[in-house]
Structures are given as C-alpha cells and as structure tokens.
Amino acid sequence: MESPRLILASQSPRRRSLLQQAGFQFVAEPAHVDEETYPSESLPSDVALLLAKRKAEALAPKYPKDVILAADTVVAFGDSILGKPKDAADARRMLKLLAGTTHIVITGVAVVLANTKFERVKRVMSSVRMRFLTPHEIDRYVEGGDWEGKAGGYGIQDHDPFVKRIHGCHTNIVGLPMTTTKVLLAAAGIYPKV
C-alpha cells in the first residue's frame, strides 16, 4: 500500500520553511477559505481551531488518501482578534494597539486523512511582550511591507519585530508550532525524511 503524501493547506512561506527545516516532504496547496467568517461571539482560541479545521476539510475531498495539514494563526488582544491587516493603515492601527503590551498568539493546527476519517486538532498559545514603539518606528516598519500576510501586522522573525519577551513556543509565533505539529503528523503516519 502506498504511503500517504503530506499536503500543506497553506501558501505561507513561513509554514513551508518550518516544515522543510524539520525534514518533511510535502506538497503545498492553499485552501481558499474565508478567514473573516466565523460566529461573532467566538473566542480567539476557538477561531484559530475553527479556521484550521475548515482549511483541512476544504482540501480533504481533493486528496482523500493523503494527510492534510492546515493551520491558522490569530493574535488575541484581550478577547479581540487581530487577523492579517487589510492594508497599511490597518497594520499601523494594530501595531499602535500592541505596542508596549502583552498579547497572545494562538495557532490552531488540524491534521486530516479523509479516507480513514482521521482528524486531530490542537491549539497552541504563546504570549508576546512588545516594547513601546514611536510613530516613526511604526511608519518605517509598515513602509517596509513586512506586515503583509501576518496576523497582528508583524512577524517575530522580521529584522526588528519589536518583541521584548516571549513565553511559549517560538515557532507558534512564526505560524506553525512544530512540536505539536510533529506529534499530530506522527499520529497520522507522517514523519520527517531526515
């Protein structure tokens, strides 16, 4: 019997890079899911799980014999969700809000193998403390475009991510908590090739 392939339901270069660094072989195909539609009363941790599951389930019919890995990362400021900024002004707003505060980064991870009805979902949470930012620092960062496609409008891996301290999983903050991801993939029979 042929081993299932790993399908990454994402177009995120950060998720692809983390999987490659960990030695996984995979095919990347984005799951075109509306990340803005979820019940309005949902907590950020529930939204991350819901969207990760939706992404995995969106590709499962196309790849019923393969393992689908999907993830969704949200930044929670209290009970408010900060997704990916819509534009530069939205990125500026998010960075002003987060500057000098602590927020939570939540990633939902879903692993699905449709033909065996295998499905596992987990969430990982990490806290991030940001330093105070001047309006000039925010403008310079936004003008550089590093905010694009990143929950909360920043990336911890960027040249100057403004982060003073983290508690929890670093790769979660990047966008894919690798310790949890490896456990879920192993349960589905997927292991690194190195």
Half-sphere exposure (CA, 13 Å, Cβ side) for 125?
Answer: 12
Burial class (CB in 10 A: 0-12, 13-18, 19+), 36: exposed
Residue 54 backbone dihedrals phi, psi, to 5 degrees:
-60, -40
Question: Residue 150 burial by CB count (10 A; 0-12/13-18/19+): exposed, middle or buried?
Answer: buried
Q: 72, 90, 146, 158: which one is catalytic?
A: 72
What are the Cα distances from residue 135, in Å, to 95, 101, 146? 10, 16, 16
Q: Residue 8 pairs with which residues in a beta bridge?
A: 28, 69
Residue 158 is among the residues annotated as catalytic for this protein: no
**DSSP labels for 104-118?**
EEEEEEEEEEGGGTE
Q: Nearest Cα to 92, choosing from 128, 142, 146, 148?
A: 142
Catalytic residues: 72
